[in-house]
Chain A
Amino acid sequence: MGRHTEENGRNWWLGALAIVVALIFWQFVAVFVINDEFILPSPTDTFSAFIGLLGDGTLLLDIEASLIHFAIGLGLALLVGIPIGIIMGWSRRIESLVDPLIEILRPIPPLAWIPFAIIWFGLTAFSAGFIIFVGAVFPIIINTYSGFRGVPRVFVEAAKMLGCTKDRDLIRYIAFPAALPSVAAGIRIATGVGWMCLVAAELFGVSNFGLGQKLWFFYNLHQMDSVVVYMIILGLIGLAFDMIFRYYVDRHFLKWRMGEVA
């Protein structure tokens, strides 16, 4: 672990340097080569737009709206996806029953559900939430399911020899902890997919607030510096979700796997 932290320290240094160089390059190209803030706003334009949007509260309101959409979608996906993944992984019969249905629904792009999302839920947070749900639920189901399928038989048998014989106990004490790395990986993928769906869902007008919706709104106003602000915010929040997984979930809930993955 010690060596790991050191490496990260070195990388951090180089990474920061690369960002600074990229910003300088961007500024140079925007000011001296393109010189048209509609086609390419410069970092300084973007920064002042950012200060303005932060000052009048629009940005925070949009972040809040998007996070609510996202929480609804991901929350429902977890609530539905994990139990379905568990029972599919645990029972061959339920797998045969549910699997064809999932395989038919899964390839439908989440955005294709937008018309029905609007018809069913109107222009509410649930409408955007539904699109995120559709995008996030399948990675969760598939990864939970394959995690449960991959539980080594010796763990189940060892547990049975120690008096753990009921299905419920075996799932809770053995299969779920053993499948947790896979479940977590599924949630991580779902977070990424869900976040992309969020932008598109809002962009297509299922909401009057939100980062994606506002990005489109500023495009229509031709305020491209504000568009860039929203792009960067979307990226940073997506990055933050990934950081949560990398530095919190993996280290606190999956530290027993260090020997296998580090």
Chain B
Amino acid sequence: MANLEIRDLTQSFPRDDGSILTVLDRVSFDVKEKEFVCILGASGCGKTTLLRMIAGLDTAESGTIVLDGEKITGTDPKVGFVFQEYSLFPWRTVIDNIAFGLELRGVSEEDRYMVAEWFIDLVNLEQFRDSYPFELSGGMRQRVAVARALTLDPSVLLMDEPFGALDAQTRNMLQKELLQIWEKTKKMIIFITHSVDEAVYLADRIIVMTPCPGRICQNFEVPLPRPRDRTSVEFAQIRRKVLDLINQNCVIQ
């Protein structure tokens, strides 16, 4: 059973003028197996810092992160990460990008290509198997990045505003595809966004954060069944509810 427990996570950085900037203030929450959680917040609220700590890329000042009963102290292949910026290795073809983690583990070329091809199919990029990243559009690159993060079969997939740089249409399409991937693989996903629309469309649960210091202000279950219709009345109502919540309770103090 994949299970993520985050307890009292605190992080601060010294500022140039000698004062201390608290980025995260005693952040605690749990994520269950197969749950799709969106962390929603304005830029600068510490959500990327939070995600980087779960990934083991940064270390918290205090607090603990426990995944599947094990404390996270550094990067771990049990955690998959999709970055906001394009992170594909430009000198590797699509298939070699996806197979990179397996290659490093010493899996033979035949075996790792078999696995990688399954993931290429999953993200619908069969024709681009041997293309280099520069030949792909932004949306395709992020699909490859998702496939690459999934090849090592992580317990949790962390996504840091992965569709932030894409145009609205591509964004909607990738959200739909991501949900299909999630249905097929049933991974726990923690997805960072500043778009209420994106959060309501994707998430089982939305965690709203306030900035300076970064705190969790609301936990909001999205009761809509999938596939969700962005134009439906229910969708609009939930969007408004989330926005109201943010406006009432999550103002900057």
The distance in angstroms between the C-alpha atoms of A182 and B105, with both chains bound, is 29
Cβ of B90 and Cβ of A162 under 8 Å apart? no
Query: Which residues of chain A from 48 to 77 have a CB within 8 Å of any chain B CB?
Result: none
Cβ of B75 and Cβ of A160 under 8 Å apart? yes
- Residue ID in chain B nearest A169 by CB atoms: B104
Cβ of A256 and Cβ of B148 under 8 Å apart? no
| A contact residues, total (Cβ < 8 Å) | 23
Asked if B138 CB lies within 8 Å of chain A CBs, one says: no
Asked if A165 CB lies within 8 Å of chain B CBs, one says: yes
Binding site for A on B (CB under 8 A): 55, 57, 74-75, 77, 79-81, 83, 85-87, 89-92, 100-101, 104-105, 132-135, 148-149, 152
Cβ of A161 and Cβ of B90 under 8 Å apart? no
The distance in angstroms between the C-alpha atoms of A172 and B91, with both chains bound, is 13
- Residue ID in chain A nearest B101 by CB atoms: A162
Quote the shortest CB–CB distance from A253 to chain B (angstroms): 9
Cβ of A260 and Cβ of B87 under 8 Å apart? no
Binding site for B on A (CB under 8 A): 154-155, 157-165, 169, 173-174, 177-178, 180, 255-260
Quote the shortest CB–CB distance from A228 to chain B (angstroms): 44
Cβ of A162 and Cβ of B83 under 8 Å apart? no
Contacts of B133 in A (CB 8 A): 256
Cβ of A255 and Cβ of B132 under 8 Å apart? yes
Cβ of A162 and Cβ of B91 under 8 Å apart? no
Quote the shortest CB–CB distance from A179 to chain B (angstroms): 10
The distance in angstroms between the C-alpha atoms of A259 and B80, with both chains bound, is 28
Instruction: Name B's interface SS.
Output: loop
Cβ of B152 and Cβ of A178 under 8 Å apart? no
Cβ of A256 and Cβ of B90 under 8 Å apart? yes
Cβ of A155 and Cβ of B89 under 8 Å apart? yes
The distance in angstroms between the C-alpha atoms of A169 and B105, with both chains bound, is 11
Cβ of A259 and Cβ of B135 under 8 Å apart? yes
Other than the known A160-B57, A178-B91, A259-B134, what 14 A-B pairs have Cβ atoms closer than 8 Å? A154-B86, A155-B89, A157-B87, A158-B81, A159-B89, A160-B75, A161-B75, A162-B104, A165-B75, A177-B89, A178-B89, A255-B132, A257-B90, A259-B135
Quote the shortest CB–CB distance from A114 to chain B (angstroms): 40
Q: With A162-B101, A162-B148, A256-B134 as known contacts, state yes or no: A177 contacts B91, CB within 8 Å.
A: yes
Contacts of A161 in B (CB 8 A): 55, 57, 75, 77, 79-81, 149
Quote the shortest CB–CB distance from B11 to chain A (angstroms): 17
